[in-house]
Structures are given as structure tokens and as C-alpha cells.
Amino acid sequence: MPLSRSHAAVVAKVAFIAAFVVPVNTFAQKPAMPAVHNIVLVHGAWADGSSWSKLIPLLEAKGLHVVCVQNPLTSLADDVAATKRAIDAQDGPVLLVGHSYGGVVITEAGTNDKVAGLVYVAAFAPDKGESAGSEGKPYGPTPGIGELRPIGDGFLVLTPKGVEEDFGPDLSAAERSILTATQTPTQGAALGATVTLPAWRTRPTWFIVAANDRMIAPDQERASAKLMKAKTLTLQSCHVPMLSRPSEVAEFIIDAAQGTTAVADTH
């Protein structure tokens, strides 16, 4: 039955209005998380920011913005504060990467709202009430621990022999010499300071296990990765895979930066 002229006019008007009406649930949809492009690298004990030197250009070549924290290594609280300042200075979400004792630092500092994910590189990853020292106790002292020497005021250094045989045996003689020259004395009490709220309990995590590590027991690293249900990469590397296997480490971090966006969008 053909529509009357007046009825047709009403239908046309309704169609016109409907074309400009936004569905109610459009505004209820969660906005997409911005891509994580800020990488904050946190070095460990007896080291400084230069320990990431091989990684920085590889990450920057992929368009990532990289910042290296310079931990004073005077206390866990001081190192966490330095890391939080670096996080707060970024313009968006951050992927926090910690090596060795730096894993303790990111575990404590990673609860910052800007932190989208955590990457542990041959690192400690204490739970609530644990420290680097207590976490490692069940696995016994590693060879590198025997090469620590006190220098006064509670600070410790790693001997040249410890650097050569335990810290970076995969590296060239020249690279080991640089590690020895640039190491920062570390306050022993920092290794006994406990974590209050482990960020890996509430953040996506990734873990690189150094299978030939002589500073942290590889079994400890594997157990940490399993506990936190981290995406894990095992490398046949000494304690510093970011220097001995930089390409693989960089690729893993790049994948993690992309993965944090995917994980965040599912919540």
C-alpha cells in the first residue's frame, strides 16, 4: 500500500534524525590505551646506566623513547625514589625494565600509575616482605657473592676477578675492563631491604633468564618467572645478557612494549 504524502514525510524525517544519532553505548566504550613508547631502564648493583649502552640504540631504532635511571645504590628507598622521578618525567605509559638488583627496585617502584608492564633481566623479583638477600637464600651463595669486598660504611664492591669470571665472563676483555672501572659501590643494606607492595602482582610481566648466571642462581630466576606467570625468554648468557646478547634482549623488550598495550586493552 503506497504511503500518503504526509506519512512519507514523517518516515523521511525519522530516518534523517536517526542518521545523526550516536548509539548510547558508543560513549561507554573504554578508550584505547596509547602505545607504550617510553622505556625506563634500571641498572643493578655494582653497575651504572652504561650497562644498557648496547641496548639503547636498538630500542631507539624502533622509535622507542629510552631513559636510563642512575641509581645511587645508597639504599633501596633512594633507588626507588630515583626510578620514580624518571617514571614521572615521561609523557605517557612506561615499560619498566630492571636488571639484577634493579629487579628489586622496579618491584617496589612499579606500582606507579604510569607503569604498564615490567621486564626482569636476570633479576631479583622479591615478593612482599622479601629482599634480594632473603630471596636468594634458599639457593645458596653463588660464585659471584664470594667476590664481594667491603670498602667501609657498609658499601661493597665486586673484585676484578668477580667481574671477569662471574659478572661478565661472556664479554671481551675490554668490556669487562669497562665494567670494572664504571661499577658503583653498593650499600650492603640495600640488599636486605624488603619490598612492601610487589608491582608484579598487579602488572603484566616478562622475564629473561640467564642460564649461565653466576651472580643470581638461574633456578631462582626460573622460579621467579614461574611465580609471576611471566612471559619468559631463556638465554645462554652470563649475568649481563643486555651486553652479551643485546639483539635478543632488545627484541624481547620491544615485544613487551607492544604486549603491554594488548594486555591493557583487555581490562
CATH number of the domain residue 162 falls in: 3.40.50.1820
The C-alpha cell that represents 40 in the structure block? 625506563
- 27-61 b/e (C-beta count within 10 Å ≥ 16 → b): eeeeeebeebbbbbbbbbbbbbbbbbebbbebbee
Task: Say if 8 falls within a structural domain.
Answer: no
Phi first, then psi: give them for residue 17, nearest 5 degrees. Answer: -65, -40
For residue 83, the surrounding DSSP H or E stretch is helix 76-88
- Please report which helix (H) or strand (E) contains residue 157, including its range: strand 155-158
2 occurs within a structural domain: no
pLDDT (0 to 100) of residue 260: 78
Tens digit of pLDDT at every position of the chain (267 positions): 454 444 444 434 434 333 333 333 332 333 334 479 999 999 999 999 999 999 999 999 999 999 999 999 999 999 999 999 999 999 999 999 999 999 999 999 999 999 999 999 999 999 999 999 999 999 999 999 999 999 999 999 999 999 999 999 999 999 999 999 999 999 999 999 999 999 999 999 999 999 999 999 999 999 999 999 999 999 999 999 999 999 999 999 999 999 876 544 333
> CA–CA separation, 169 vs 57, rounded Å?
23
21 within a domain of the structure (yes/no): no
pLDDT at 21: 36
Q: What is the pLDDT of residue 261?
A: 60
In a domain, 192, yes or no: yes
| DSSP structure class, residue 16 | H
Whether residue 104 lies inside any domain: the answer is: yes
User: pLDDT value at position 107?
Assistant: 98
- Domain of 243 in residue numbering reads as 38-265
Tally of structural domains, the chain = 1
50, three cell numbers: 652504561
Taking the CA atoms of the chain, what radius of gyration do you get in angstroms? 24
Is 1 within the bounds of a domain?
no
CB 160 within 8 A of CB 180: yes
Instruction: Report the predicted TM-score, pTM, of the whole model to 2 decimal places.
Output: 0.86
- Please indicate, yes or no, if residue 128 is contained in any of the structural domains: yes
**Residue 139 is assigned to a structural domain of this protein:** yes
Instruction: Look up cell 630515583; give the residue.
Output: 82
Q: How many CB atoms lie within 10 A of CB 169?
A: 16
